[in-house]
Amino acid sequence: MAVIGFFLLAASAPQAGAANGPIQLVVLGDSLSAGYLLPQEAAFPAVLEKALRGAGVDVDVANAGVSGDTSRGGLERLDWAVPDGTQAVILELGANDMLRGQDPARTQESLDQIITRLKARNIRVFLAGMLAAPSLGRDYGVRYNAIFPALAAKHNVPLYPFFLEGVTGNRALVLEDGLHPNRAGVEQMVRSILPAVKTFLTGSQG
């Protein structure tokens, strides 16, 4: 899936290895980013930080993932989960809303408020999208899958359409539950998303 929604100008992005220290990036999410049943060094934020540093981006990535969290839960804990000094956030919430069959309008409203509040604090947002499970039906899928492109367009933020790109459906990359990424799955997720996150942070695709 192509990455869409890159409307940020490179001039507005913090530069890799900037003199004012590492870029402070927070991953605000659920179990998919928190590292469900994995040691912290194998969770998405830690693996992403290592990959970004290897690509020349001076960054500290904080893990603000909470297993089982919904978009509403993320909104309620936003102020303490994303501390002062944060420069950028990867927003990865909404999967649990979908798995519980919550009204997509409620999910969109909560994510909308999160993005609005982060931008009011001059924190830039990278939106990690999710896709509805086919078992929820076509109508639900159409409504749910429209959430993330709509928010990206409304708030002029970059969108990575499917956070589990390359992992879902591959038994070798998920835990026994068939949903959560294992170590190899997290590494695949990071490889897939890395170019988009690097562009988001530095304005450079190289």
Q: What is the pLDDT of residues 81-90, one digit of tens each?
A: 999 999 999 9
The pLDDT score that the predictor gives to residue 205 is 58
Q: Output the CA–CA distances (angstroms, integers) from residue 10 to 90, 94, 155, 184, in the order listed.
A: 18, 28, 17, 32
pLDDT at 72 over 50: yes
Q: What is the token pair recorded at 130?
A: 């999710």
Q: Which of 33, 71, 180, 192 is catalytic?
A: 180
The pLDDT score that the predictor gives to residue 51 is 98
Q: Which of 84, 135, 139, 177 is catalytic?
A: 177
pLDDT at 25 over 60: yes
CATH number of 10-202: 3.40.50.1110
Q: What is the token pair recorded at 38?
A: 């994995």
pLDDT at 17 over 50: no
155 is known as an active-site residue: no
Q: Which of 30, 31, 58, 110 is catalytic?
A: 31
How far apart are the C-alpha atoms of 92 and 71, rounded to whole Å?
9
Residues in the chain: 206
Q: What is the pLDDT of residues 120-139, one digit of tens each?
A: 999 999 999 999 999 999 99
pTM of the model: 0.90
112 is known as an active-site residue: no
